[in-house]
């Protein structure tokens, strides 16, 4: 259930980006979506994220920057050890210069570079480039 909601949210972002919109409204929301978007914001792919009324119905407003080419969720369960992250990155991402894999770790939701720096593994949520 959680990955399907994340997949719908990422599809809305990519579609809004392709149509040239400045913002995207995401609903329903979850903590996983908010932390995935926070990773995107930290890496400069999204300008700003505003979460409103998370306890009730909730809505996330995402200000787009125009850098997202593709953003997907890995729908099957893919667990990675810390040593396997570099190999998975070369298999999944199109080039070495851009793109990030988002991993749910015991230290929180991190991109692949931060997970390798902290030497932790986890479950792959998705990727963006």
Per-residue burial over 52-87, b if 16 or more Cβ lie within 10 Å, else e, is eeeeeebebebebeeebeebbbbeeeeebeeeebee
> How does DSSP assign 20-75, residue by residue?
T-SEEEE-S--HHHHHHHHHHHHTTSEEEEEEE-SSSS-EEEEEE-S--S-EEE--
- pTM for the whole structure: 0.92
Q: In the chain, where are the structural domains located?
A: 1-64, 71-128
pLDDT of residue 45: 94
pLDDT in tens, 6-64: 999 999 999 999 999 999 999 988 889 999 999 999 999 999 999 988 777 789 999 99
1-64 and 71-128 in the same fold: no
Q: CA 115, CA 119: separation in Å to the nearest integer?
A: 6
Q: What is the assigned CATH class of domain 71-128? A: alpha beta
Record: fold of 1-64: Ribosomal Protein S8; Chain: A, domain 1 (3.30.1370)
């Amino acid at each position: 259930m959680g990955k399907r909601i994340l997949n719908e949210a990422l599809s809305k972002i990519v579609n809004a980006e392709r149509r040239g919109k400045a913002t995207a409204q995401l609903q329903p929301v979850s903590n996983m979506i908010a932390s995935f978007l926070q990773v995107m914001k930290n890496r400069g792919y999204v300008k700003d994220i505003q979460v409103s009324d998370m306890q009730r119905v909730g809505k996330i407003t995402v200000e787009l920057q125009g850098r997202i080419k593709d953003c997907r969720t890995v729908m099957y369960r893919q667990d990675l050890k810390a040593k396997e992250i570099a190999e998975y990155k070369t298999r999944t991402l199109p080039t070495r210069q851009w793109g990030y894999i988002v991993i749910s770790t015991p230290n929180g939701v991190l991109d692949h570079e931060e997970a390798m720096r902290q030497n932790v593994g986890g479950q792959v949520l998705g990727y963006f480039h």
